[in-house]
Amino acid sequence: MKSVYLHIPFCHEICHYCDFTKIYYQESLADSYIEALEKEISMYVDSRKKVRTIYIGGGTPTSLSDRQFEAMLKAVARHFDIRDDVEFTIEANPGDFSKEKMNMLRLYGVNRISLGVQVLDDQFLKALNRSHQVKDVYETVDLLHQNGMENLSMDFIYALPGQTFSLFKETLKEAISFGLPHYSSYSLQIEPQTVFYIRYRQGKLTKPDEGIEANMYLHLIEEMNRHGILQYEISNFARPGFESRHNLTYWNNDYYYGFGAGAHSYFPGRRVVNIRPVNHYIKSIETGRKPVLHEEKITLKERIEEEMFLGLRKTEGVSRKKFFKQYHQTIDELYGERLNDLKEKNWLMDDGDVIRLTTRGMLFGNDVFQAFLLDGDPFGE
């Protein structure tokens, strides 16, 4: 297994757009959760296992108290070999770092921070129900730099309700001015069981139209590349050498552990999904059972489909040679007519070995990916 993901579901505020497994922070519940999390890890890993990447996400990991934050990091250190070449990322909210948490990063080998900035405009931050302000972003980046943390990533969202193209340009320009080595940017998706979804159904919320959203995305790509922050995945940009190795685990269709409420694990031939409700997750572990909601077999058909649409998310695309070496099938045998159709639409480019999305194809990514769903069961599994 190359990678480890740990989910911390606690937040001091619940963002209006978020559909991840999350719950308001409660000190005693968080104590029980951290204890359960280490017990779950012990069910799969009994010694200091070597991995390439560790990623602690949420929720908001930095919403934990200093004592709980350290307990979480100690649990990781007891079960995984934290070497210099391990990429160890923690998601954080601007304004959440105490002096104690900052010291812990260095002590426990954390070498990458992903900041959930979302937008650099206080009015929009309030509308999203974010707990920070723009000034907190500047203060947190300065604090991290002062403490030797250079491998920083900034997440932000575009196509927000009420956001014009001009306002998006201002946020993007300001984000780039931080000079960080990595940025992730996603268009707002209105997901069920969120405040935004309720407002959308009530007719109280509208997004920018598709044309404006597309122009925002095209401007994002152009400006990032112009500043030497190269696109390496549909929504991710980095200076060379600072690509997220952990997220590349997913896009390369590699295996990974997932620990915590609602976390997913991907093992050879199977995917495991954990129980989502935090109380149920803790109770399952307290009774000595793995907190598995369901486990599904991954067939060859499904693995090939995922290889294609995950691989095509990357700007490096999918190599015919690597695909054949992995699956003993050619891409053209499986998808020949579909490839031609996608190329005619200018959604794919093909140099004879590597197949990549065009910029236009990135705008229609979901339509492209659906084309790689195979009919029936061609392998007789």
379 has a pLDDT exceeding 90: no
pLDDT, position 251: 95
- pLDDT per residue as tens digits for the range 340-362: 999 999 999 999 999 999 999 99
User: What's the distance, Cα to Cα, between the start and end of the chain in Å?
Assistant: 25
Q: Which residues pair with 321 in a beta bridge?
A: none
Taking a C-beta distance cutoff of 8 angstroms, is the pair 341, 371 a contact?
yes
- Per-domain residue ranges for the chain? 3-251, 316-370
* Structure letter (DSSP) for residue 86: -
Taking a C-beta distance cutoff of 8 angstroms, is the pair 41, 75 a contact?
yes
**Which residue, among 262, 252, 161, has the nearest Cα to 213 in the 3D structure?**
161
Taking a C-beta distance cutoff of 8 angstroms, is the pair 80, 51 a contact?
yes
The helix or strand, by DSSP H or E, that contains position 55, with its residue range, turns out to be strand 53-58
206 has a pLDDT exceeding 90: no
**Which residue, among 159, 103, 92, 98, has the nearest Cα to 131 in the 3D structure?**
92
Whether the predicted model's global pTM rises above the 0.85 cut: yes
- pLDDT per residue as tens digits for the range 218-263: 999 999 999 999 999 999 999 999 999 999 999 999 999 999 999 9
E strands present in 269-309? 270-274, 292-297
Q: What are phi and psi of 208, to 5 degrees?
A: -55, 150
Q: Which residues pair with 112 in a beta bridge?
A: 89
Mean pLDDT over the full length of the chain: 94
**Which residue, among 152, 70, 142, has the nearest Cα to 111 in the 3D structure?**
152
- pLDDT per residue as tens digits for the range 74-89: 999 999 998 889 999 9
The helix or strand, by DSSP H or E, that contains position 232, with its residue range, turns out to be strand 230-233
Q: Which residues pair with 156 in a beta bridge?
A: 118, 185
pLDDT, position 120: 96
> Token pair of 371, please?
């084309």
- pLDDT per residue as tens digits for the range 124-151: 999 989 889 999 999 999 999 999 999 9
Specify the fold of 316-370.
Arc Repressor Mutant, subunit A (1.10.10)
Q: How confident is the model at residue 380 (pLDDT cuts 50, 70, 90)?
A: low
CATH architecture under which domain 3-251 falls: Alpha-Beta Horseshoe (3.80)
Taking a C-beta distance cutoff of 8 angstroms, is the pair 291, 273 a contact?
no
E strands present in 109-181? 112-118, 152-158
